[in-house]
Structure formats: structure tokens, C-alpha cells
Amino acid sequence: MKKSAVFLDRDGVLNEDTGYVFDPRKLKWIEGAQEAVKTINEAGYFAFVVTNQSGVARGLFDEDDVQALHAWMADELAKFGARIDDFEYCPDHPEAVVERYRRTNIRRKPGPGMINDLVARHNVGVGGSILIGDKETDVEAARAAGIKGYLFPGGNLLTFVRSILAENPGSFRNRQG
């Protein structure tokens, strides 16, 4: 059985985009973010994070830092009774300072690779799935993966998620297939 998903960009959607966030002490949640994730969970959807992390390619931090931040975020969300079912990130950038990350990669948004990998790994039904991002490249990645993309304009994420649920009562229900 397939289950629909909500794919969330990280910086600018779940947390404030203050530039290359990797230290939990410097992460500031977007208003309503934890509650929005819990609402997505309670509605029966997978909740996934898909995030470009070019700070790794730029030598500002390493992949262990990204993974540690995601583990910390998961722990913080659990305090609200919320969960991210899986985190995907792409450390690559075509102009990377760190040689091993200097490449073009379909996993880097606007490419659909991170979304497609999660769809395959978790048996996601794309028909009822969406992506919420804060940049046009997020929406392009969603479109390339065959799902609907929404631009989060800022403000309260819970309010935004609720408006999407209300806007798409037929198509956003957790559907099979």
C-alpha cells in the first residue's frame, strides 16, 4: 500500500534561513513548524525533509554536522509528538571548494533526486503528495518529481499547512496509489 507524503524544505520552511545553519544552538524554528509537522503526521502522511546543504561543499561544515542537526531536530519534534519520517540532503554543488562535492547532481534541487529516492524507499504514492518550499527551485523539484509544489511565503507554517489542507480537500487526502 502506498501512502502520500509532504516533502518539506528545511531552511526557510522549518527553520529560519540565517545562512548555512548546522549548529543546533543557532537554529530558530519557524513559527508553528513543530505543530505543522504534527498536523501532517496526524493526517496520516509521511513527513520528509529534502534540503540542499551546499555548506558542506563550501567547506563550512561537514556531513556529520548535518546529520547531527537532523537528529537534534527529530528529538525536538518528538517533544511535540511530531516526527520527520526521513531526512534527505544533498551536499554537492557544481562550484564546490571541497573537491569531492564538486559536481552536478540530480539530487540537488531543482533536480528531483531526493524526492524520487524517498518515493522509492518508502513506497510513496505521488498522486496525493506535495512539497512545501521557500524557493522556486523547490517547486521545480516537486514538478520534476510529479508532485504539487507550494511556496511558503513565511509567517506561521501551521497556518500555511492548514490552508493547503483546506484548499485541497479532495486531492490532499491520504490516498492509496
Q: Express each pLDDT in 86-114 by its tens digit.
A: 999 999 999 999 999 999 999 999 999 99
pLDDT 10s digits, 44-83: 999 999 999 999 999 999 999 999 999 999 999 999 999 9
In the chain, how many domains are there?
1
Contact 131, 108 (CB under 8 A): no
* pLDDT more than 90, % of the chain: 90
The answer to whether residue 114 sits within a structural domain is: yes
The answer to whether residue 172 sits within a structural domain is: no
* Active-site hit among 9, 65, 85, 134: 9
Is 11 known to be catalytic? Answer: yes
pLDDT at 177 over 50: no
In this prediction, residue 174 has a pLDDT band, given cuts at 50, 70 and 90, of very low
pLDDT at 120 over 50: yes
pLDDT value of residue 168: 60
The answer to whether residue 175 sits within a structural domain is: no
pLDDT value of residue 173: 46
* Active-site hit among 11, 85, 92, 134: 11
pLDDT value of residue 169: 54
pLDDT at 172 over 80: no
What type of residue sits at position 92? Answer: D
The residue segments making up the domain with residue 25 are 5-167
CATH of the domain at 9: 3.40.50.1000
pLDDT value of residue 87: 98
Sign of the four-CA dihedral 9, 15, 19, 25: negative
pLDDT 10s digits, 122-169: 999 999 999 999 999 999 999 999 999 999 999 999 999 999 977 765
pLDDT value of residue 165: 75
The answer to whether residue 177 sits within a structural domain is: no
